[in-house]
């Protein structure tokens, strides 16, 4: 058999297994940073290439069914090693594949200490994240989900800042609780539906026929697990702590892709399996989304620590993912997914920028800065671009997701239905409230910009060097994509839109049939 | 030929973008290339715009609209594209003309600045964004470019980032504009929501469809005209955008501070083009406003209040640029008022004339500032007429034009607005007339304090280079003559209203000297003339002849004087609320919720409970099987008993 078609038949298992191979090889290398980084970079670029091949060769975005399906017996026929992608998962895999080489380039100053271990752990994270996005067996999904925990814990606990023990333990406990909730949900769903398989496609259909109490319990367990990861109020406090202590590249990965596992789970499982319960709890989720968007922005305004500002801004932006989800419209779904992708790029860029400043000055306190433009002009202009992207300036990718969510949520028929009997449309009131978040976002991003880069310079930093080439490459790539997807959003929506539309339609159908019975 | 010109109109906007990108990425090392690219792009734009204007003027019925889908999700579609109609053609010429002259002027003004290339790239970027806004076919696209002009304004106000005042001003400008944008966004969302099925087979939110949509909404009783969710609230939310961008009370506070930016920016963005975008958007959304009388009234009153309020502040300012900034607010207020009164063409006519003479006045102030070695306080100026003949002459033309000297451009447009006020609302007529009086007074105050008398400063003022004076002269010409477009003195009468109108009746088809005299000698013609004369003479008496009116105000009417001098304490009130109420409450909220309740109580509390329980369990987990069995048995027993009682 020729190699090309062999690859295409095993494309997904290749990208899941490649990082493990890389991790093993790195473990046998001499403990020298450039060597390990080079190897990791080669593997990561290979993965990126593979993902491109997956998307641009045989992948047909107009099909809403799974593609590149691989299914192997594992524990009998009950638990199978089943992989497959649709538009939604492939765009998340793409995000991971883009972020990985960038993270590795950004790791140079961090990984000087124990490079072998560091890059191996990074590669294990990759496997687990890609695995979560491509797994089509619920048990496998759970396993990949839990696998992420261990390398991530080490990455924060070993290469983190002063308070890393507390932060990594907090991260571990939160994520572990989330995993336990999911495990309970998986078992409940499996035994409750009397299924003979953990296949997600089968379970997605079976779950809709479950008795209401089962569905409700499963949904709540899954939902709690995902919003801990997302993170959402009131389970968000692990995020600022983890970000503050995590080294820059790990922060980039954490904000860039690990949070999206939660968002992906919400769309794939909460909306895909239990749309009726999603609608039933609509009001609560709507309120949660509003609290996230506005509350996250309020929290940003009162922080002194640059990393905390970016971390809370993640909470605020992930609120749009929830809002898009609960609006149950095509535009809302599409906007939520776009928001995940674009936030992955923007928050990675922002953490990189904050990291470069921290690396030079060893302080994250905003008040220690001022007039940095004098010494780091390039950093200033790139920071402006990233800040503008974060506050959803049109023509940058943040705007696309947010406006889709706003339009979707405001015109959502579901919200109108939700408010029957009321004199006002509760969903619209919440959406209007969320528009305050847009003002606050502008406030905290620009105040940060002003306090760090503008005004009279702090002469303490006179000797600082501007961005290095490697940093420019990282930021240039990320922000180049931000501009690309902001100006021409169809480049991304083309890939996932039919899938998200189908997801929305199946949710609508499920709700209709549920109403009739 | 003319079809070709229209079809390729997008080039007018595209070239400045290309030049901006080229400067940023490739030519930022070279001043000559940067300036050439930037000026070349906009010069081409001016020529093309004039051709477009000509083509549209020949055939005003031919409206070109091109739409490209920008994003699609299910049934939901958003478009971007370009629209060429009379209003757009007029704005194109205004924007490119002012931009061209300002960019030439920039070469003289910024020649010693290290950020020269960067400045040109921002200017090009702004020109692109502004033209994109003018070309917008629908409200969504307007919102895109609306924000982009805002960010260009942010970048340019903060151009001298090392000045703390500039740093605060640019953040303030952006955030205040964001408040307006949030209102605009919600307004657009309401419009989209109430007409969601209409857009299935039309370009979403297109301006050209607004008339039909409003007809459907009103006739079909989809949306009440007045109420909580009504056409009025929608119109007023959309109005928040223009209020912020066009610096209308109470969102005007950013504009005077924006004067911290370099003067060419003040002329281009904060006098002629971007701040007028609000008026432009109201004009584009006019079908929404005319559907609701309440909304129209509120628009008119906001405009009138802004006009008189800002004029009253301008009376006592000493900073030359701030005086002009408040004057800009006041004039924008007049335009908004005109639109609110239903005088569509009068408002837009004033937009056009104002763009030219106010840009020129700002450029004059820049010229004076350079000559006085970056002194902006008018008390340190005076007697500059001798040293700077060209600047002082141009400034005099601008002052006469804005105060309404007969036959200059401002005279025609302001008279149109005051006449409309006389026709529709006598109270507003009084307010507009008082504003006109104040305008004449403070503008001549500015002129006399700067150019006549003796020089009071310490620099050695001198006339500036041709790069600065040429744009002044070039802008002086339209400042004098462009008003004739809307006058009854040219054959065929009021050409402007005939070209750009919103179906309002206009009796300006008659023309000739007799018509002009007849209009001038009516009340609505004589009052503005009278206010002009009184304002001018008073300013002359006070600032040239030394009449002690100033001291009278300072000593006898201290509260009034202080109020005006301190901008009626609006800034203080806002900052007080922000720093004393909003920020502390946020701080408090965050501390309570995140630190105390979640982290303190739940997270660390559960850790404490776990360790406590673990510590307690040590005594129970003895390792003896019998004990465990006993506990199990006891629990089962308790469970059974409880369930027996419950299910009895």
Could B76 and A450 be called an inter-chain contact, meaning their C-beta atoms sit closer than 8 Å? no
Q: What is the pLDDT of residues A415-426, one digit of tens each?
A: 888 877 777 788
- Neighbour-count burial for A306-341, b at 16+ CB within 10 Å, e otherwise: bbbbbbbbbbbbbbbbbbbbbbbbbbbbbbbbbbbb
Q: Which of B90, B110, B125, B100 is nearest to B18 (CA)?
A: B125
CA–CA separation, B135 and B88 (whole Å): 6
**pLDDT confidence band for A201 (50 / 70 / 90):** confident
Q: Is residue B8 part of a domain?
A: yes
Interchain contact A62–B (C-beta under 8 A): no
Q: What is the pLDDT of residue B387?
A: 84
Q: Is residue B624 part of a domain?
A: no
Q: Is residue B636 part of a domain?
A: no
CA–CA separation, A273 and A510 (whole Å): 10
Q: Any idea what DSSP says for residue A199?
A: B
Q: At B495, is the secondary structure helix, strand, or coil?
A: helix
Write out the two tokens for A63. 């099909």
Q: How far is CA A76 from the centre of its chain?
A: 33
> Of B233, B267, B291, which residue constitutes the final position of a domain?
B291
Write out the two tokens for B239. 């109005």
Q: Which of B205, B314, B183 is nearest to B251 (CA)?
A: B183
Q: What is the pLDDT of residues A237-278, one digit of tens each?
A: 888 888 888 888 999 999 989 999 999 999 999 888 888 888
Q: What is the pLDDT of residue B128?
A: 93
Say if residue B640's pLDDT is above 80: no
Residues A5-25 have a mean pLDDT of 87
Q: At A6, is the secondary structure helix, strand, or coil?
A: helix
Q: Is the CA virtual torsion B577, B580, B581, B583 positive or negative?
A: positive
Number of domains in chain B: 2
Interchain contact A407–B (C-beta under 8 A): yes
**pLDDT confidence band for B143 (50 / 70 / 90):** very high
Write out the two tokens for B634. 């006891």
CB-neighbour burial class of residue B453 (10 A; exposed 0-12, middle 13-18, buried 19+): middle
Q: Are residues B333 and B279 in the same domain?
A: no
Q: What is the pLDDT of residue A113?
A: 83
CA–CA separation, A315 and A157 (whole Å): 23
Residues A485-511 have a mean pLDDT of 89
Residue of A nearest to B172 (CA): A443
- What's the domain range around B70? 1-178+198-217+252-291
Q: What is the pLDDT of residues B293-315, one digit of tens each?
A: 899 999 999 999 999 999 999 88
Q: How far is CA B43 from the centre of its chain?
A: 24
Say if residue B554's pLDDT is above 80: no
CA–CA separation, A101 and A295 (whole Å): 33
Say if residue B547's pLDDT is above 80: no
CA–CA separation, B308 and B331 (whole Å): 9
Write out the two tokens for B636. 């089962």
Q: Are residues B389 and B264 in the same domain?
A: no
CB-neighbour burial class of residue B263 (10 A; exposed 0-12, middle 13-18, buried 19+): buried
Q: Which of B390, B434, B405, B249 is nearest to B332 (CA)?
A: B249
Residues A89-102 have a mean pLDDT of 92
How many other CB atoms are found less than 10 A from the CB of residue B356? 28
Say if residue B647's pLDDT is above 70: no
Q: Is residue B518 part of a domain?
A: yes
Q: Any idea what DSSP says for residue B85?
A: S
Q: What is the pLDDT of residue A348?
A: 93
Q: Are residues B299 and B352 in the same domain?
A: yes
Sequence-distant (6+) residues with CB within 8 A of B634 are none
Write out the two tokens for B555. 């000593």
Q: Are residues B336 and B278 in the same domain?
A: no
Q: Which of B503, B501, B346 is nearest to B418 (CA)?
A: B346
Q: What is the pLDDT of residue B501?
A: 80
Could A335 and B171 be called an inter-chain contact, meaning their C-beta atoms sit closer than 8 Å? no
* Tokens 């609290």 belong to residue: A291
Could A454 and B161 be called an inter-chain contact, meaning their C-beta atoms sit closer than 8 Å? yes
Mean of all residue pLDDT scores within chain B:
86
Distances (CA, A) of A161 to A156, A242, A248, A251, A254: 8, 10, 10, 12, 15
CA–CA separation, A426 and B191 (whole Å): 17
Helix B344-371 and helix B320-340, axial crossing angle in degrees, nearest 10: 180
Say if residue A377's pLDDT is above 90: no
Could A500 and B73 be called an inter-chain contact, meaning their C-beta atoms sit closer than 8 Å? yes
Q: What is the pLDDT of residue A288?
A: 92
Write out the two tokens for A159. 């290469």
How many other CB atoms are found less than 10 A from the CB of residue B31? 15
Q: What is the pLDDT of residue B623?
A: 60
Q: At B229, is the secondary structure helix, strand, or coil?
A: coil
Percent of chain A with pLDDT over 90: 30
CA–CA separation, B2 and B54 (whole Å): 9
Q: Are residues B332 and B287 in the same domain?
A: no
Write out the two tokens for B458. 């310490």
Write out the two tokens for A194. 């009397």
CA–CA separation, A338 and A402 (whole Å): 8
Say if residue B620's pLDDT is above 70: no
Q: Any idea what DSSP says for residue B138?
A: B
Q: Is residue B90 part of a domain?
A: yes
Q: What is the pLDDT of residue A465?
A: 83
Q: What is the pLDDT of residue B180?
A: 92
Q: Nearest by CB to B189, which of A373, A406, A442?
A: A406
CA–CA separation, A274 and A281 (whole Å): 11
Q: Are residues B271 and B348 in the same domain?
A: no
Residues B28-32 have a mean pLDDT of 85
Q: Kindly report the nearest CA distance between residue A165 and chain B, in angstroms.
A: 15
Strand B76-84 to strand B64-73: parallel, antiparallel, or no bridges (unpaired)?
A: antiparallel
- Return the higher-pLDDT residue of B505 and A406: A406
CA–CA separation, B535 and A418 (whole Å): 61
Instruction: Classify residue B422 as left (phi > 0), alpha (psi -120 to 50) or beta.
Output: alpha
Percent of chain A with pLDDT over 70: 99
Q: What is the pLDDT of residue B338?
A: 92
Q: What is the pLDDT of residue B631?
A: 66
Residues 299-358 on A with a CB inside 8 Å of B are 299, 301-302, 329-331, 333-335
Residues of A in contact with B164 (CB under 8 A): 454-456
Residue of B nearest to A430 (CA): B186
Q: What is the pLDDT of residues B428-445, one digit of tens each?
A: 999 999 999 999 999 998
- Neighbour-count burial for B108-136, b at 16+ CB within 10 Å, e otherwise: bbbeeeebbbbbbbbbbbbbbbbbbbbbb
SS3 content of chain A, % helix, strand, coil (to 5): 75, 5, 20
Q: Nearest by CB to A453, which of B72, B154, B161?
A: B161
Q: What is the pLDDT of residues B42-62, one digit of tens each?
A: 999 999 999 999 888 888 888
Q: What is the pLDDT of residue A429?
A: 87
Interface test with A, best of B76, B132, B164, B180 (most A CBs within 10 A): B76
Q: Are residues B284 and B309 in the same domain?
A: no
> Of B291, B307, B322, which residue constitutes the final position of a domain?
B291
CA–CA separation, A408 and A405 (whole Å): 5
Q: Kindly report the nearest CA distance between residue A411 and chain B, in angstroms.
A: 5
Q: Which helix (H) or strand (E) holds A68?
A: strand A67-74
Write out the two tokens for A360. 């030079």
Q: Any idea what DSSP says for residue B118?
A: H
Q: Is the CA virtual torsion B563, B569, B570, B571 positive or negative?
A: positive
Q: Are residues B202 and B333 in the same domain?
A: no
**pLDDT confidence band for A289 (50 / 70 / 90):** very high
CA–CA separation, B463 and B31 (whole Å): 24
Q: Nearest by CB to B151, which of A393, A400, A500?
A: A393
Q: How far is CA B174 from the centre of its chain?
A: 11
Q: Are residues B354 and B416 in the same domain?
A: yes
Residues B364-393 have a mean pLDDT of 86
Q: Are residues B263 and B323 in the same domain?
A: no
- Return the higher-pLDDT residue of A192 and A484: A484
CA–CA separation, A247 and A355 (whole Å): 8
Distances (CA, A) of A514 to A223, A286, B316: 20, 21, 70
Percent of chain B with pLDDT over 70: 93
- Lowest average pLDDT, out of A343-357, A443-457, B486-500, goes to B486-500
Q: What is the pLDDT of residue B570?
A: 83
Could B190 and A170 be called an inter-chain contact, meaning their C-beta atoms sit closer than 8 Å? no
Could B192 and A406 be called an inter-chain contact, meaning their C-beta atoms sit closer than 8 Å? no
CA–CA separation, A290 and A322 (whole Å): 9
Residue of B nearest to A442 (CA): B175
Q: What is the pLDDT of residues B350-373, one digit of tens each?
A: 999 999 999 999 999 998 888 888
> Of B291, B322, B355, which residue constitutes the final position of a domain?
B291
Q: Is residue B228 part of a domain?
A: no
Q: Which of A97, A99, A113, A93 is nearest to A36 (CA)?
A: A113
Say if residue B648's pLDDT is above 70: no
- Lowest average pLDDT, out of A359-368, A396-405, B289-298, B549-558, goes to B549-558
Strand partners, B77: B72
Q: What is the pLDDT of residue A310?
A: 92
Q: Kindly report the nearest CA distance between residue B11 and chain A, in angstroms.
A: 18
Q: Is residue B555 part of a domain?
A: yes
C-alpha dihedral (A326, A327, A329, A334), degrees to nearest 10? -70
Residue of B nearest to A411 (CA): B193
**pLDDT confidence band for A478 (50 / 70 / 90):** very high
Q: Are residues B485 and B469 in the same domain?
A: yes
Could B161 and A455 be called an inter-chain contact, meaning their C-beta atoms sit closer than 8 Å? yes
In chain A, the largest separation of any two C-alpha atoms, in whole Å, equals: 72
CA angle at B259 for the pair A447 and B440, rounded to the nearest 5°: 145
**pLDDT confidence band for B601 (50 / 70 / 90):** confident
CA–CA separation, A29 and A21 (whole Å): 13
Residues B118-145 have a mean pLDDT of 92
Helix B139-157 and helix A397-410, axial crossing angle in degrees, nearest 10: 140
Q: Are residues B52 and B79 in the same domain?
A: yes
- Return the higher-pLDDT residue of A310 and B627: A310
Highest mean pLDDT of the ranges A362-366, B18-22, B585-589: B18-22
Say if residue A107's pLDDT is above 60: yes
Counting every residue written for chain B, the total comes to: 648
Q: Is residue B115 part of a domain?
A: yes
- Lowest average pLDDT, out of A129-143, B51-65, B495-509, goes to B495-509
Yes or no: say if B341 and B421 are a contact pair by the CB < 8 Å rule.
yes
Q: What is the pLDDT of residue B616?
A: 61
Q: Which helix (H) or strand (E) holds B82?
A: strand B76-84
Q: What is the pLDDT of residue A376?
A: 87
Residues B36-40 have a mean pLDDT of 91
Distances (CA, A) of A83 to A96, A139, A271: 17, 12, 20
Alpha helices in B388-464 (DSSP H): 389-403, 409-424, 426-451
Q: What is the pLDDT of residue B593?
A: 81
Sequence-distant (6+) residues with CB within 8 A of B591 are none
Q: What is the pLDDT of residue B568?
A: 81
Q: Kindly report the nearest CA distance between residue B161 and chain A, in angstroms.
A: 5
Interchain contact A457–B (C-beta under 8 A): yes
Q: What is the pTM of this model?
A: 0.91
ipTM value for the complex:
0.91
Q: Any idea what DSSP says for residue B600?
A: I
Q: Which of A272, A337, A408, A278 is nearest to B74 (CA)?
A: A408
Strand partners, B84: B64
């Amino acid at each position: 058999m020729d190699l090309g078609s062999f690859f295409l038949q095993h494309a997904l298992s290749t990208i899941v297994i490649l990082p493990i191979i890389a991790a093993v090889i790195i473990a046998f290398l001499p403990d020298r940073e450039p060597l390990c980084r080079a190897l990791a970079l080669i593997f990561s670029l290979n993965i990126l290439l593979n993902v491109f091949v997956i998307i641009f060769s045989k992948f047909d975005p107009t099909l809403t069914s799974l593609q590149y399906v691989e299914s192997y017996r594992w524990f009998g026929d009950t638990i199978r090693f089943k992989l497959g992608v649709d538009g939604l998962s492939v765009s998340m895999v793409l995000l991971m594949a883009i972020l990985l080489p960038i993270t590795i380039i950004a790791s140079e100053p961090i990984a000087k200490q124990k490079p072998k271990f560091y890059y191996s752990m990074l590669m294990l994270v990759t496997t687990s994240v890609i695995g979560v996005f491509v797994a089509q067996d619920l048990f496998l999904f759970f396993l990949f989900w839990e696998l992420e925990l261990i390398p991530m814990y080490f990455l924060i606990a070993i290469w983190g800042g002063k308070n890393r023990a507390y932060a990594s333990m907090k991260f571990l406990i939160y994520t572990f609780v989330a995993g336990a909730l999911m495990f309970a949900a998986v078992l409940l769903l499996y035994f409750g539906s009397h299924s003979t398989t953990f296949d997600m496609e089968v379970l997605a259909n079976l779950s809709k026929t479950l008795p209401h109490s089962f569905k409700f319990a499963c949904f709540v367990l899954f939902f709690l697990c995902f919003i801990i990861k997302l993170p959402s109020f009131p389970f968000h406090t692990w995020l600022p702590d983890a970000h503050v202590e995590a080294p820059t590249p790990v922060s980039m990965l954490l904000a860039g892709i690990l949070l999206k596992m939660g968002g992906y789970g919400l769309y794939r499982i909460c909306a895909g399996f239990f749309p009726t319960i999603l609608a039933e709890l609509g009001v609560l989720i709507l309120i949660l989304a509003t609290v996230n968007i506005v509350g996250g922005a309020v929290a940003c305004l009162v922080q002194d620590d640059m990393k905390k500002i970016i971390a809370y801004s993640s909470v605020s932006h992930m609120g749009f993912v929830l809002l898009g989800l609960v609006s149950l419209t095509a535009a809302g779904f599409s906007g939520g997914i776009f928001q995940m992708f674009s936030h992955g790029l923007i928050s990675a860029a922002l953490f990189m920028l904050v990291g470069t400043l921290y690396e030079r000055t060893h302080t994250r306190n905003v008040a220690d800065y001022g007039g940095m433009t004098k010494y780091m002009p390039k950093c200033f202009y790139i920071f402006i671009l990233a800040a503008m992207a974060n506050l959803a300036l049109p023509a940058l990718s943040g705007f696309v997701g947010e406006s889709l969510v706003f339009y979707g949520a405001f015109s959502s028929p579901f919200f109108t239905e939700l408010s029957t009997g009321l004199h006002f449309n509760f969903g619209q009131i919440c959406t209007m409230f969320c528009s305050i978040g847009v003002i606050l976002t502008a406030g905290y991003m620009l105040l940060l910009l002003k306090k760090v880069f503008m005004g009279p310079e702090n002469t303490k930093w006179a000797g600082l060097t501007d961005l290095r080439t490697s940093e420019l490459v990282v930021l240039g790539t990320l922000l180049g994509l931000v501009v690309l997807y902001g100006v021409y959003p169809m480049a991304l929506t083309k890939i996932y839109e039919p899938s998200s539309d189908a997801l929305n339609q199946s949710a609508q159908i499920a709700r209709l049939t549920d109403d009739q019975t | 030929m003319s079809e070709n010109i229209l079809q390729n109109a997008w080039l007018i906007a595209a070239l400045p973008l290309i030049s901006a990108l080229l400067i940023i990425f490739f030519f930022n090392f070279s001043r000559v290339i940067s300036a050439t690219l930037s000026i070349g792009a906009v010069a081409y734009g001016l020529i093309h715009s004039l051709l477009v204007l000509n083509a549209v003027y020949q055939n005003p019925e031919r409206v070109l609209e091109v739409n490209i889908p920008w994003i699609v999700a299910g049934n939901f579609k958003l478009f971007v594209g370009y629209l060429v109609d009379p209003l757009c053609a007029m704005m194109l010429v205004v924007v490119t003309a002012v931009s061209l002259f300002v960019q030439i002027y920039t070469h003289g003004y910024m020649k010693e600045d290290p950020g020269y290339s960067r400045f040109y790239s921002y200017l090009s970027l702004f020109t692109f964004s502004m033209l994109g806004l003018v070309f917008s076919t629908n409200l969504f696209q307007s919102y895109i470019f609306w924000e982009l002009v805002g960010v260009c304004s942010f970048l340019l106000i903060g151009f001298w980032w090392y000045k703390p005042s500039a740093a605060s001003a640019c953040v303030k400008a952006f955030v205040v504009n964001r408040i307006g944008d949030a209102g605009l966004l919600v307004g657009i969302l309401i419009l989209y929501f109430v007409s969601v099925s209409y857009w299935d087979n039309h370009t979403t939110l297109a301006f050209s469809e607004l008339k039909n949509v409003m007809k459907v909404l009103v006739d079909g009783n989809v949306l009440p005209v007045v109420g909580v969710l009504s056409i009025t609230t929608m119109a007023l939310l959309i109005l928040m955008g223009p209020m912020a961008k066009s610096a209308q009370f109470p969102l005007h506070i950013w504009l005077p501070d924006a004067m911290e930016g370099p003067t060419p920016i003040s002329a281009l963005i904060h006098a002629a083009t971007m701040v007028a975008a609000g008026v432009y958007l109201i004009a584009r959304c006019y079908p929404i406003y005319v559907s609701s009388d309440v909304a129209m009234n509120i628009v008119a009153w906001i405009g009138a209040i802004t006009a008189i309020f800002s004029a009253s502040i301008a009376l006592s300012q000493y900073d030359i640029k701030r005086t002009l900034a408040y004057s800009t607010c006041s004039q924008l207020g007049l335009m908004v008022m005109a639109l609110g009164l239903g005088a569509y063409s009068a408002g837009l006519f004033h937009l056009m004339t104002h763009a030219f003479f106010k840009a020129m006045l700002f450029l004059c102030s820049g010229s004076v500032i350079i000559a006085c070695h970056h002194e902006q306080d008018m008390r340190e100026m005076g007697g500059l007429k001798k040293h700077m003949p060209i600047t002082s002459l141009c400034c005099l033309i601008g002052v006469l034009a804005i105060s309404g000297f007969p036959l200059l451009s401002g005279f025609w447009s302001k008279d149109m607005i005051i006449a409309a006020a006389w026709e529709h609302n006598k109270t507003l007529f009084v307010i507009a007339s008082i504003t006109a009086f104040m305008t004449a007074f403070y503008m001549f105050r500015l002129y006399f304090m700067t150019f006549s008398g003796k020089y009071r400063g310490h620099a050695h003022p001198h006339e500036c280079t041709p790069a600065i004076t040429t744009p002044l002269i070039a802008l002086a010409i339209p400042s004098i003559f462009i008003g004739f477009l809307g006058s009854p003195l040219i054959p065929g009468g009021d050409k402007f209203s005939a070209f750009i109108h919103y179906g309002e009746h206009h009796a300006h088809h008659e023309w000739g000297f007799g018509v002009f005299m007849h209009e001038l000698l009516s009340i609505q013609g004589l009052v503005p003339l009278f206010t002009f004369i009184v304002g001018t003479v008073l300013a002359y008496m006070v600032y040239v002849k030394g009449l002690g009116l100033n001291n009278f105000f300072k000593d006898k009417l201290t509260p009034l004087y202080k109020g005006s001098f301190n901008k009626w304490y609006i800034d203080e009130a806002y900052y007080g609320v922000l720093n004393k109420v909003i920020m502390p409450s946020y701080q408090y909220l965050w501390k309570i919720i995140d630190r105390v309740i979640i982290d303190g109580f739940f997270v660390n509390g559960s850790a404490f409970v776990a360790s406590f329980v673990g510590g307690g369990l040590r005594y129970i987990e003895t390792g003896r099987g019998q004990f465990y069995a006993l506990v199990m048995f006891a629990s089962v027993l308790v469970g059974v008993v409880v369930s027996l009682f419950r299910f009895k």
